C-alpha cells in the first residue's frame, strides 16, 4: 500500500530542501559579493565563468542525484531495503570514477572550455587559477550528488539540510577569511570551496551510515538487471543534463561576448535565477520522492496526487519569489556588487529574473515527476526538442535585441521544457500498473 500523500508530507520533505538548496546559490552570491568588494568587474566575471565551467562538467554527472533518488525511492516504495542500499553503493562507485576522470583530463577540458569563451585575457587568467584549485574537489562534489539523492529518496531531508548548512557555512567563513582577511583574491574563493567539499562528503557518508551498514552481497551489487536499469536511467539523465548545461553555458559565453560589464551583470543576476531554481526544486524533490514511492507501490492515484499537491506548493512559491525579486532586486544587486557600471547594467535586465520563477515552475515540477518515475528516456527526448527551440530563439533574438534577447531566449527554453514534458505526462500515468514500469 502506497503511503498517503498529504500537504503535511509534502512540506515535511520540501521545506528542509527549500532551505538547504537556497544556501547553494546564496553561497555563489557570497563568492561574487566577496570578490565584488575589490571594486573591479574582472574578478567577478572570473569567479562566475570558472564556476559555470565546473558546473558544466559536474552536471554531466548530475544524473547521480536524480537517478539515485528515483531508483532508491522506487525500491523503498516496493519495500526492498537491500536494493535501496545497493543503489547508494553503485552510485558512490560511479562518483569516484567520474571524479578521478575529471582530474586526469583537466588540462584538455579547461583548454576546450576557454576556446569556446570570448572572455578577456584578464578574466581568463583569473578563471584558470580558480579552476586549477577547484578541480581537486571533483570526486567529493560528484559523490555528494549520490548521497543527497539517496537521502531525499529516504525522505530524510533534514539530514540534507544539516549537510548543506555545514558545507556552506564553512565555505562562507573561509571565503571571508581567505579573501578579505588574507587577501588571497580569486584563489582564496577556490580554496575555501575545496575544503568545504571534502568535509561535506565525510559528513554525508556519516548521515548515510544506515544504508552503508546494510549488508549487500557482491552478487546483488553487480546484479545484471538492476545494474543495467541504473545505467540506462543514468545515461538518459546524463544526456539530458549535457543538453541543459550546454544551454546555460552558451548563455554565459554569449553574455561574455558583450563585454566584461555585461558578463558581470549577468553573473549577478544568475544568482537570482539559481536561488529560484534551487528553492523551488525543493517541491520538485518532494515530487521525486513521493512519485518514486508511488511507482514502487504501483499506485497510479498516489502518483497523480503527489504531482498535484507538490505542484500547488511550487506554484505558490514561484509567485512569491517573482514578486520578491522585483521589489528587492535593486537592493540585492547593490549588495552583491560595488562596481557602478555593473549595478546599472544588472538593473536593466532585472525584469527577466523576476519573470523566471513563474515561467519556469511547470518545467521544474514535471522534471521531478519524471525523475521519480524514472521516465528518463522521455525526459531526454523532450530536452532535445526544447534545446532545438532554444537555439532557434538565440539565432533570432540575440542579433535583434542583444543581451535582452539572450535572456528572452532563456525564458523560451523554460517554456519549451514544460510543453514537451507535459505532452507525454498522460502516457506516464497510463504506464503505472501492477508491475514495476519500464524506464519509459
On the question of pLDDT at 190 being above 60, the answer is: yes
State the Cα–Cα distance between residues 171 and 391, nearest whole angstrom.
36
Averaged pLDDT, 154-158? 92
On the question of pLDDT at 361 being above 80, the answer is: yes
pLDDT of residue 212: 86
Q: Which three cell numbers stand for residue 386?
A: 526544447
Distances (CA, A) of 206 to 21, 142, 162, 167, 387: 20, 16, 12, 14, 39
* CB count in 10 Å sphere of residue 218: 7
State the Cα–Cα distance between residues 321 and 317, nearest whole angstrom.
6
What confidence tens digit (pLDDT) does each residue in 90-126 have?
Answer: 999 899 999 999 999 888 888 887 777 666 667 777 7
pLDDT of residue 410: 94
pLDDT of residue 169: 87
Contacts of 347-350 with C-beta under 8 Å, sequence gap 24+, read: 348/265, 348/404, 349/265, 349/266, 349/269, 349/403, 349/404, 349/407, 350/269, 350/325, 350/326
Cα-Cα-Cα-Cα dihedral sign, residues 100, 104, 106, 109? negative
pLDDT of residue 440: 43
Q: Which three cell numbers stand for residue 342?
A: 555593473
Numbers of helices and strands, H then E, in the chain: 17, 0
Averaged pLDDT, 197-203? 94
State the Cα–Cα distance between residues 384 and 388, nearest whole angstrom.
6
What confidence tens digit (pLDDT) does each residue in 211-255 have?
Answer: 888 777 788 888 888 888 888 998 999 899 888 878 888 888 887
Q: Look over the chain and give the mean of its residue pLDDT values, rounded to a whole number.
A: 85
Per-residue confidence at 37, pLDDT binned at 50, 70, 90? low
* CB count in 10 Å sphere of residue 97: 12
Counted residue by residue, the chain has a size of 440
* CB count in 10 Å sphere of residue 30: 22
**DSSP code at position 435:** S
Residues 6+ apart with CB under 8 A from 143: 92, 95, 96, 99, 201, 204
**DSSP code at position 181:** I
Residues 6+ apart with CB under 8 A from 228: none
pLDDT of residue 24: 67
What confidence tens digit (pLDDT) does each residue in 54-80 have?
Answer: 877 887 788 899 999 999 999 888 888
Averaged pLDDT, 268-297? 86
Per-residue confidence at 155, pLDDT binned at 50, 70, 90? very high
What confidence tens digit (pLDDT) does each residue in 401-438 have?
Answer: 988 999 999 999 999 999 999 999 999 998 886 544 43
pLDDT of residue 438: 36
On the question of pLDDT at 152 being above 70, the answer is: yes
Phi, psi of 385 (to 5 degrees): -65, -45
* Ordered alpha helix ranges (H), 135-223: 138-153, 157-175, 186-207, 209-213, 218-221
Share of the chain above pLDDT 90, in %: 44
Lowest mean pLDDT among 53-57, 196-200, 201-205, 350-354: 53-57
Single pTM value for the model? 0.80
On the question of pLDDT at 25 being above 70, the answer is: no
Q: Which helix (H) or strand (E) holds 49?
A: helix 41-58
Amino acid at each position: 500500500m502506497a503511503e498517503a500523500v498529504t500537504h503535511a508530507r509534502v512540506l515535511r520533505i520540501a521545506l528542509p530542501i527549500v532551505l538547504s538548496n537556497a544556501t547553494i546559490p546564496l553561497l555563489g552570491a557570497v563568492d561574487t559579493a566577496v570578490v565584488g568588494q575589490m571594486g573591479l568587474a574582472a574578478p567577478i566575471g572570473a569567479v562566475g565563468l570558472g564556476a559555470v565551467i565546473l558546473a558544466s562538467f559536474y552536471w554531466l554527472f548530475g544524473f547521480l542525484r536524480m537517478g539515485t533518488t528515483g531508483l532508491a525511492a522506487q525500491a523503498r516504495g516496493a519495500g526492498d531495503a537491500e536494493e535501496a542500499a545497493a543503489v547508494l553503493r553503485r552510485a558512490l562507485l560511479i562518483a569516484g570514477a567520474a571524479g578521478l576522470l575529471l582530474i586526469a583530463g583537466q588540462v584538455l577540458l579547461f583548454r576546450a572550455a576557454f576556446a569556446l569563451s570570448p572572455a578577456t585575457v584578464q578574466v581568463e587568467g583569473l578563471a584558470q587559477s580558480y579552476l586549477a584549485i577547484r578541480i581537486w574537489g571533483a570526486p567529493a562534489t560528484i559523490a555528494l550528488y549520490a548521497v543527497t539523492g539517496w537521502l531525499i529518496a529516504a525522505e530524510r531531508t533534514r539530514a540534507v539540510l544539516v549537510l548543506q548548512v555545514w558545507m556552506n557555512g564553512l565555505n562562507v567563513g573561509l571565503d571571508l577569511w581567505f579573501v578579505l582577511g588574507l587577501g588571497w583574491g580569486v584563489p582564496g574563493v577556490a580554496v575555501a570551496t575545496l575544503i568545504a567539499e571534502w568535509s561535506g562528503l565525510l559528513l554525508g557518508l556519516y548521515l548515510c551510515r544506515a544504508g552503508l551498514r546494510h549488508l549487500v552481497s557482491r552478487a546483488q551489487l553487480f546484479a545484471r538487471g538492476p545494474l543495467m536499469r541504473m545505467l540506462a536511467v543514468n545515461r538518459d539523465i546524463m544526456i539530458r543534463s549535457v543538453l541543459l548545461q550546454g544551454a546555460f553555458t552558451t548563455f554565459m559565453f554569449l553574455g561574455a561576448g558583450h563585454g566584461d560589464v555585461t558578463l558581470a551583470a549577468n553573473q549577478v543576476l544568475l544568482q537570482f535565477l539559481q536561488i529560484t531554481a534551487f528553492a523551488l526544486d525543493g517541491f520538485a524533490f518532494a515530487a521525486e520522492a513521493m512519485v518514486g514511492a508511488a511507482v514502487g507501490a504501483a499506485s497510479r492515484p498516489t502518483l497523480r496526487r503527489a504531482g498535484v499537491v507538490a505542484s500547488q506548493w511550487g506554484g505558490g512559491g514561484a509567485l512569491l519569489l517573482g514578486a520578491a525579486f522585483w521589489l528587492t532586486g535593486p537592493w540585492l544587486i547593490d549588495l552583491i556588487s560595488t562596481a557602478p557600471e555593473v549595478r546599472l547594467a544588472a538593473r536593466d535586465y532585472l525584469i527577466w529574473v523576476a519573470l523566471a520563477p513563474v515561467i519556469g515552475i511547470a518545467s521544474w515540477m514535471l522534471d521531478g515527476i519524471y525523475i521519480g518515475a524514472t521516465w528518463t528516456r522521455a525526459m531526454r527526448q523532450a530536452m532535445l526538442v526544447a534545446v532545438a527551440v532554444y537555439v532557434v530563439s538565440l539565432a533570432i533574438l540575440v542579433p535583434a535585441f542583444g543581451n535582452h534577447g539572450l535572456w528572452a531566449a532563456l525564458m523560451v527554453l523554460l517554456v519549451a521544457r514544460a510543453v514537451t514534458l507535459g505532452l507525454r505526462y498522460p502516457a506516464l500515468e497510463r504506464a503505472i500498473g501492477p508491475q514495476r514500469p519500464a524506464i519509459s
